[in-house]
Structure 1
Amino acid sequence: MNSLIIVLLTILGTLVLSVPASYVLSRIRHRAKGTIMISILVFQMISPLIIAIPIYGYFEKLHLLNTFTGVIIAYIAIQLPFVTWLMKGYFDTIPLSIEEAAMIDGCSRFQTLRKIILPLSLPGIATATIFTAIQSWGQFIIPFVLLSDSKYFPISLGLYQYQAGKEAITTHLIASASIISIIPVVIGFLILQKFIVKSLTRGAIKG
Structure 2
Amino acid sequence: MQSMAPTSPSLPVAGPVPRRRLQRVRAAAVSDEPKLNKYSARITEPKSQGASQAVLYGVGLTDADLRKPQVGVSSVWYEGNTCNMHLLRLAEAVRDGVREAGMVGFRFNTVGVSDAISMGTRGMCYSLQSRDLIADSIETVMGAQHYDANISIPGCDKNVSSFPLSLLLQFSGTMEWSQCCRSHNLYIKVLNYYMIIERH
Q: TM-score scaled by structure 1? A: 0.24
Flag the structure with larger Rg: 2
Bigger share in strand: 2
Q: TM-score scaled by structure 2? A: 0.25
Bigger share in helix: 1
Higher relative contact order (CA 8 A, sep 6+): 1
